[in-house]
Amino acid sequence: MSVFSVVMDRAGGFENQPLVAVAVSGGADSMALLRLTQRWCVARGGRVLALTVDHRLRPESAMETERVTEWLRALGVDHRVVVWDGEKPETGIEAAARRVRYQAFDMMCREAGALHLLLGHHAGDQRETVVMRAVRGLGQGEAGMAFMDVRRNCRVLRPLLGVEKTDLVALCQVLGQPWVEDSSNVSDAFERNRVRKRLAQTSKTMLSAMDAAIAVAQVRRMRAEQVCASRMQAWVRVSSLGYAWFDLDAWRAAPQDVDADRNLWASVLRCIGGGVYAPSRAALDRVVNAALAGRGATLGGCVVRPGNGGLWIVRERRVARPPHWDGALWDGRFVTTPEWCDRLRYPRDAQERTAISEAWSSLGKSEETPPSAVISRIPVVEGADGVCVPSLLGYDPGIPPLRFLPPHGVTACTDWLAP
């Protein structure tokens, strides 16, 4: 059995005759992953689906995408492409492109019914990520990318994290598989390229030591996620309307653990704020200290407010516009139908907040009616009898359901180690 099969089988959770999506840029790493995945799927009576996002950041990208489509057609692989049209940000283009790419992949997986998305990140990508996160002081950055990650509509797997880029290039050469060389990968304008060049000057001994440290950090992160999940269950209530309540007294009474507190608050803020990445340690420490003192704070698109003997965590009153191709996503966190998406908004005034509060109380829900400051940050629409919360609260059945599906939930526990 090949190493790739061992890694995939260890991931588990595949259906009979699996449909597996693979992110394909056309580079040697993604083409090697595509060929490995196709072989694995065919052996199990399944099939592979190739997904590409053409960011249109280079003049030649459209031609390269057509070339990749031809290669995949020759292999009998279905290929779906999303193009990022329109204006691009003048700064932070790497982060913006990554955000768009993941949103598009998640959307395409949903439309295709693919439960699994494979990414071609390899050992070199992992080292670069660790260095970049260390510079920014991000959470569990020393652990790098997780082998498994759960997104809104699929789970992401990175089965090549233990494989060197040179081995993937060699595989393509053996298979006679052509690939695309992205000219932007050598530009010093991008942070990852600068880090890659520095690591290329590092000795093999140092790189091996770095890999060992990453493996240790991943085990530590997995255990931290398990602790976070148990604390979340004990102290946090997350509402399907996009807010949370934190049991301050129970938290204060427990033994203090700085790292566990950071992880807990990072998870809650990322879920409620709709963020993809956790805030920095320094920012989290500021929120943790404020929360311990019973004070409010803001971070990660969230507002933390004291109330009801605890802390309310709510979204800031702003709407994050989704990419144009996923019109059924509102505020980056709620899924509805495209025709209703533009009708969602936040309550406008005290009269609307009072009406919602009264309707909520009349339903006899086990969940107590939240204060006005929380109600002002939940999605509403204009119904037949005035403003209302979509059918999550059980009234105005003519309005389609609204599902709270942020990019990341409050717990993960999916950080498995690939051999």
pLDDT in tens, 226-250: 888 899 999 999 988 899 999 999 9
Query: Tell me, what's the pLDDT at 140?
Result: 60
- Per-residue model confidence as pLDDT tens for the chain (419 residues): 488 999 998 888 899 999 999 999 999 999 999 999 999 999 999 999 999 999 988 889 999 999 999 999 999 999 999 998 877 887 888 888 888 898 899 989 999 999 999 999 999 999 999 998 887 765 567 889 989 988 888 999 999 999 999 999 999 999 999 999 887 777 777 888 899 999 989 999 999 999 999 999 988 888 888 888 899 999 999 988 899 999 999 999 998 888 889 989 999 999 999 887 788 889 999 999 999 898 999 998 899 999 888 999 999 877 555 544 566 788 888 888 888 888 888 888 999 899 888 878 877 666 678 899 899 998 888 766 777 777 555 556 677 778 888 877 776 544 433 33
Query: Tell me, what's the pLDDT at 366?
Result: 60
388 to 236, 369, 382: CA distances (angstroms): 26, 14, 6
Query: Tell me, what's the pLDDT at 414?
Result: 44
Annotate 48-102 with DSSP letters as a single string.
Answer: EEEEEEE---STTHHHHHHHHHHHHHHTT-EEEEEE--S---SS-HHHHHHHHHH
The beta-carbon contacts of 322-327 under 8 Å, at least 24 apart in sequence, are 322/103, 323/84, 323/100, 323/103, 323/104, 324/85, 324/86, 325/82, 325/104, 325/107, 326/103, 326/104, 326/107
Instruction: State how far the Cα of 333 lies from the Cα of 238, in Å rounded to an integer.
Output: 13
Q: Are 157 and 4 in contact (CB under 8 A)?
A: no
Instruction: State how far the Cα of 54 lies from the Cα of 73, in Å rounded to an integer.
Output: 18
Helical spans, DSSP H, in 279-409: 281-292, 338-341, 350-362, 372-375
CB-based burial of residue 258 (10 Å sphere; 0-12 exposed, 13-18 middle, 19+ buried)?
exposed
Mean pLDDT, the chain, rounded, equals: 87
pLDDT in tens, 272-324: 998 877 888 899 999 999 998 989 999 988 999 998 889 999 998 775 555 44
Q: What is the pTM of this model?
A: 0.81
In 3D space, the residue among 226, 224, 228, 204 whose CA is nearest the CA of residue 216 turns out to be 224
